[in-house]
Amino acid sequence: MSNDYEFVGPYRLERTLGSGSFGKVKLATHLITGIQVAIKIMDKERINELNMMEKVKREIRILHSFHHPHIVRLYEVIDTPTHVFLVMEYVSGGELFDYIVRKGRLSENEARRFFQQLISGVEYCHKHNVVHRDLKPENIILDENNNIKIADFGLANLLEDGNFLDTSCGSPNYAAPEVISGRLYAGPEIDIWSCGVILYALLCGRLPFDDENIPALFRKIKGGLYRLPNFLSKGTQSLIPEMLMNDPVKRITIPEIRKHPWFLMNCPPYLQVPWEEYEKAHMSVAFNKSEFLDMLLRSVYKGLDRSAVIAAISGDAPNSQIKVTYELKLDEALKVERQRQICEAHAVVKGEPCEEKMFRSGLSMGVSRAKRWFLGVQSRKDAAVIMIEVCRTVQALGCEWIQENDYCVRCRQLEKEGTEVVTEMRLQLYKVQEHAYLLDFQKLDGNVCSFMHSCGMVIDCLQKGLSRNAQLAHVQMRDGL
């Protein structure tokens, strides 16, 4: 993206917070209220090149409809001929993953606080017929008060009554057995499994299922092969196995988690029941919206008719600046009430940060940032040389293959009789930075285990072929179904 944008609508763009596949994320200030937001700037040409427009639209549709204290807010979407600007809640505390790596295993009180917030957010998704499908500490971010926000709904799916999902999504370490086995699943139960993995990571500072060899990792997950450390309390020693239950039918549900004694300890009032129940029953008492609106009419809405403002706030008009301004100011005010409840529930002196003392065990997540998302080969060689090696590799492995373009190969492995496809995949090379390339493995046909086995063989051969300059790093594996 060019640097031509200094202002987008009523927002002044400031420093870059990060970069993604489709563009940058910028810190920005809403000029009417002075509130900081994060704006995800997405290049339409790049989105279409990667054939990801449906994924982007799905994430926008989901986030636009959500309003939960532990899910990142999407305030508005600004569409231009070349870019899409997603105006989102600015969450300043970084990823939960980095927090765990930095702190080591957490105390049970702090782990429980994160877990209570996570379960409330996931429950809200499920009540709105959305399954996240990629829950992991990398997709959970922390605000300035160390409260969590669930983010990245790009792999989420909308559920319909009676329908089962069959696509494999997310990260292998957090994937449920039914997902990696390619079986049909209803949806919510795979998020429960991922929450169980996250709870284990919070309490132990490492993952329950971890292995650099993907087939070995899958065997551990499908066999439920993990160890519960003896330093865990009886409460967590009973809850974690119920969440990491291999049989999805027997796996604990969110209503059952809510009744678990370990979950109920020090639970703030707003997390003791589903969010919408609490909001309906208590927010009118805890927070006077009429007085709040009067305050806005005296300040940011100065000169506007009250009935017109109420109509704009209540309406569905997209990108209404009256409504966006109201929601920004309302969220800012509600944070104060929620933080008061959190601090009271955890017996923290008002005004002090709600953070428990960490247990520093010297443990870490056991994986580097590069290796937690991807496995593969990164080379300093030219892209053309890498693609030649890719073609040699798939040919040496006995695959049928065609080169779709200079940087994309489509290949398939047949069973020994040569009639039935074992796995079919597309290998696409992307330049992610100067002298660094990302090879994307997309499954087109076949089951997940066969696909992962084929990926492993290709990676192994590529490592040998590029061994002089190779490093373990970026190969993304995703499902194209």
Residue spans of the domains in the chain: they are: 7-89, 96-266+355-369, 275-345, 374-479
What's domain 96-266+355-369's superfamily in CATH?
A: Transferase(Phosphotransferase) domain 1 (1.10.510.10)
Supply φ then ψ for residue 226, to 5 degrees.
Answer: -150, 165
Domain 7-89 coded CATH 3.30.200.20 = yes
Strand partners, 439: 429, 475
Cα distance between residue 311 and residue 314, in whole Å: 5
Q: Which residue matches tokens 């209503």? A: 255
Angle between helices 108-127 and 188-204 (to 10 degrees): 170
Encoded tokens for 463: 């490592």
Annotated active-site residue 134? The verdict is: yes
| DSSP alpha helix (H) spans, 346-382 | 369-373
193 sits in which H/E element: helix 188-204
Please give the class, per CATH, of domain 374-479.
Answer: alpha beta
Within 143-186, strands assigned E span 148-150, 157-158
Structure tokens at 411: 């290949």
Segment holding 343, helix H or strand E: helix 321-345
Q: Which residues are annotated as a binding site for ATP?
A: 40
Which amino acids are annotated as binding site, given as ranges? 40
pLDDT in tens, the chain (481 residues): 444 568 888 899 999 988 776 778 999 999 888 999 999 998 888 888 877 888 888 888 888 889 999 999 999 998 888 998 999 999 999 999 999 999 989 999 999 999 999 999 999 999 988 888 889 999 999 998 899 999 887 655 544 444 444 444 457 888 888 887 766 555 789 999 999 999 999 999 999 998 888 888 889 999 999 999 999 999 999 999 999 999 999 999 999 999 999 999 999 988 999 988 887 777 655 567 777 777 887 777 777 778 888 887 777 665 578 888 888 888 887 777 777 777 777 654 333 344 333 333 333 444 434 333 333 455 566 788 888 888 988 988 888 999 888 888 999 888 766 667 678 888 887 765 556 677 777 777 777 667 777 877 887 787 777 654 444 333 444 444 3
Annotated active-site residue in 4, 43, 98, 134 = 134
3-class SS of residue 455? helix
